Amino acid sequence: MKAYTIDLRQKIIDTYESEPISQRELAKRFRVAPSFVVKLLKQYRETGQLAPKSRPGRPRLLDAEQMQVVQDLVEAKNDITLEELCSELHQQFELTVSNSTMCRVMQRLHLTHKKRPLHPNEKETERVQLLRHDYWDELRDVKVEDLVFIDESGVNLGLVRLFAWAFQGQRAYGRQPKRGQNVSIVAGLSLAGVVASAVILGAFDGLTFEAFVATRLVPNLWPGACMVMDNCSIHQGEAIRHLIEGAGAQLVYLPPYSPDFSPIENFWSKVKAILRACGARTYQALANAIEIAFEEVAEVDIINWFSHCCYCTP
């Protein structure tokens, strides 16, 4: 129960001292319990204080040193479980705590349990780090407006939302449609929007990607444009470089293990979220849904994606 305010306490004392009124009548006038009036008057006579007495709760089970140990354990191994943390505390301090107590400790430390993205160990090697550094050196003089990121993505007829609502204690169920044959999408994304795109049934290979570059991408390029794509095999033909450079543009490959440098990865995430909502179950409906998804990508989305990848500021 919340303590009564100092203001109310002072009014009760003032009324009691200035009027011939009983404690019971005083409690009735101010709508408080008679026992509260008795305790307040006793406290005021003995101490002269009106503030409510502190009511400390149970002392915390872990002291500052033990809290720091928990934090250090999490920083050293961020996938450690509550059970493992409890076990470590028991080994180091002979202190027994429950999982629920440890969960509250994590909350007080502002630590939350979340899904962690994984990346290959090779990304941390010196070779890859040097290539990532060289990539930014290569783009140093390129205007952000001239950058076009090219990538492919795959979808199918079985795309559904993976999360749903259900009452506590009950599972959320859904139907899994037939996937059908995979559909591949390729697109070029600039700060101004989608420069070119194509959709085919099946996977892109060197010939189909070269056809996309020649018929869809190159006609929309401009002198000074900079095509950025990953270094997968279908992107590396000399014919592709010749087509791009023939349009007055340049071709730059992303360093290996560096999808975090490509805003189009975020673009595909939004497109697929929209496709999951559309629930297309025929190839024609899927093609229409892809067009709708492209149109729903807003300019502010693209600016935020480019900013997230450090090419500009919002």
- 170 has pLDDT over 80: yes
The per-residue pLDDT for 80 is 95
How is residue 259 written in tokens? 């999808």
pLDDT over 80 (residue 56)? no
pLDDT band at 267, cuts 50/70/90?
very high
Are the C-beta atoms of residues 197 and 294 closer than 8 Å to each other?
A: yes
Confidence class of residue 229 from pLDDT cuts 50, 70 and 90? very high
103 and 134: one domain?
no
Structure confidence by residue, pLDDT tens digits, 273-302: 999 999 999 999 999 999 999 999 999 999
> Does residue 188 lie in a domain region?
yes
pTM of the predicted model as reported, rounded to 2 decimal places: 0.72
In this predicted model, what pLDDT tens digit does every residue of 171-185 receive, in sequence order?
999 999 999 999 999
* pLDDT range class, residue 120, cuts 50, 70, 90: confident
pLDDT score of 4: 87
Same domain for 150 and 103? no
Do 191 and 285 fall within a single domain? yes
Both 86 and 148 in one domain: the answer is no
Average pLDDT of the segment spanning 211-224? 97
How many whole angstroms separate alpha carbon 273 and alpha carbon 308?
19
The rounded distance, in Å, linking the Cα atoms of 111 and 206 is: 47
Q: How many CB atoms lie within 10 A of CB 73?
A: 16
Are residue 94 and residue 134 in the same domain, yes or no?
no
Nearest partner of 251 among 232, 281, 227, judged by Cα: 227
In a shared domain, residues 195 and 262: yes
DSSP structure string for the chain: -PPPPHHHHHHHHHHHHHS---HHHHHHHHT--HHHHHHHHHHHHHH---SPPP---PPPSS-HHHHHHHHHHHHH-TT--HHHHHHHHHHHH-----HHHHHHHHHHTT----------GGGGSHHHHHHHHHHHHHTTTS-GGGEEEEEEEEE-TT---S-----TTS----------S-EEEEEEEETTEEEEEEEEES---HHHHHHHIIIIIGGG--TT-EEEE---GGG--HHHHHHHHHTT-EEEEPPTT-GGG-THHHHHHHHHHHHHHHT--SHHHHHHHHHHHHHH--HHHHHHHHHHTTS---
Predicted pLDDT at 87: 95
Where in the sequence is the domain holding 91, given as residue range(s)?
A: 67-108
Tell me the pLDDT of the chain averaged across its residues. Answer: 93
Give 100-119 pLDDT, tens digit per residue: 999 999 999 999 999 888 87
pLDDT band at 58 (very low <50, low <70, confident <90, very high): low
Q: Which residue type does 215 have?
A: T
Q: What is the CA radius of gyration of the chain?
A: 33
- Confidence label for 52 from pLDDT (cuts 50, 70 and 90): confident
Say whether pLDDT at 75 is over 80: yes
> Which of 177, 187, 186, 183 minimizes the C-alpha distance to 155?
183
Check if the beta carbon of residue 306 is closer than 8 Å to that of residue 312.
Answer: yes
Same domain assignment for residues 185 and 132: yes
pLDDT band, very low/low/confident/very high, at 191 (cuts 50, 70, 90): very high
Question: What's the total number of domains in the chain?
Answer: 3
Residues 215, 283: one domain? yes
